[in-house]
Amino acid sequence: MTVLSPIGDGSVALISGFDDDTGGGGLFLYDGHDLERLDDLPTTGIASANGGLARVLRGRDDDPGSRFIRYEPDGARHEEYVEGLVDPHDVAWVGDSFAVACAGANTIVFVAEAGGVERVWKAPGSGDAWHLNSLVVVDGELHVMAFGRFERHREWAEDSIGTGFVMNVVTGREVVNGLSSPHHPRLVDGEWIVCNSGTGELLRIGEDGRIGGRAVLAGWARGLAVLESALLVGESRGRDEPAGAKATIATVDRASWEVVGRIPVPVREIYDIVVVPRSLAEALSGLPAGT
């Protein structure tokens, strides 16, 4: 089923994705009617900042760094290879730099707007212990999502049911916990909306920790954009599914908390969904594929 999503006048959604089988992926534009592929660079996190856009390209936990790309509002591009971006996931603007969650090194690396690493925050444990992934700024303070407080590399792969959490990086306090392989927390009207990826659900969680809404999704839940009347949620295909399987974006009605439509996306995995001004998307739409 396909239902047009009410993104709003003057705005569009940008969607990032990747396919480890083919090495492809890309950046996609969705205007509520049509989906357009802007390029084919395998991409994880994207973030709107200062009228422009930042993105990190898909990396591996055995690579010492990854490519970080920043676009000006007119589409002008700045790219650098940043040492320390080990298996980078999400990116967020924190007011003076870009924070990048690096799952492979259990770190958050802060990249200066002018380029280069400013500082690094590290969680306890070796390698990909916590699986730090999604970032969000709330009241000026950075929050990070993790699969759990583990000590060893990929220890979370043994059992991470109910161990995931959202943590205030400034205070170290867990503001939401009891999650399963979660991604993309968003604080909306005093409630947290999170992709509980391990159970294939989208959850709305109140201040008391109780679940006030639950939407069952058709895939690995990752990537979340909050619209006025709906939510756009990525549904990635499992890495053990047959080659050629493609992702979808579910449209969840915020009033009924039901999936009311799906948008096919020609990539295996979706990472991020960000709403940006149409003018920025138009500036980016002239980018040649594979650049």
User: What pLDDT was estimated at residue 8?
Assistant: 67
Mean pLDDT over the full length of the chain: 92
Quick one: pLDDT band at residue 287, thresholds 50, 70, 90?
Answer: low
pLDDT at res. 242: 66
CATH topology of domain 11-284: Methylamine Dehydrogenase; Chain H (2.130.10)
15: tokens are 């969607």
CA distances 87 to 106, 219, 251, Å, are 10, 22, 29
Secondary structure (H, E, C), 75-98: CCEEEEEEECCCCEEEEEECCCEE
Q: How confident is the model at residue 2 (pLDDT cuts 50, 70, 90)?
A: very low
175-191 pLDDT, tens per residue?
999 999 999 999 999 99
Look at residue 6 in the predicted model and tell me its pLDDT: 59
Give tens-digit pLDDT for 134-168: 999 999 999 999 999 999 999 999 999 999 999 99
8 Å CB contact between 271 and 19: no
What's the CA gap between 143 and 136, in Å, rounded? 5
pLDDT band at 203 (very low <50, low <70, confident <90, very high): very high
* pLDDT at residue 12 tops 90: yes
- pLDDT band for 291, please (50, 70, 90 cuts): very low
Both tokens of 195, joined, read 């992709």
Inform me whether the pLDDT recorded for 67 exceeds 70.
Answer: yes
Helices (DSSP H) in the chain: which residue ranges?
Answer: 278-284
Q: With b meaning 16 or more CB within 10 Å and e meaning fewer, what string describes 252-289?
A: bebeeeebebbbebebbbbbbbbbbebebbebbeeeee
Q: What burial letters (b/e) apply to 181-217, b meaning 16+ CB within 10 Å? A: bbbbbbbeeeebbbbbbbbbbbbbbeeeeeeebebeb
| Virtual torsion, Cα 6, 224, 220, 265, nearest 10 deg | 50
pTM for this prediction:
0.93
- Mean pLDDT for 13-19 is 95
Work out the pLDDT band at 271, boundaries 50, 70, 90. Answer: very high
Q: What is the pLDDT of residue 5?
A: 55
- Characterize the bridge pairing of strands 88-93 and 97-102: antiparallel
Could you tell me the residue ranges of all domains in the chain? 11-284
Q: Could you read off the pLDDT of 100-133 as tens digits, one per residue?
A: 999 999 999 999 998 899 999 999 999 999 999 9
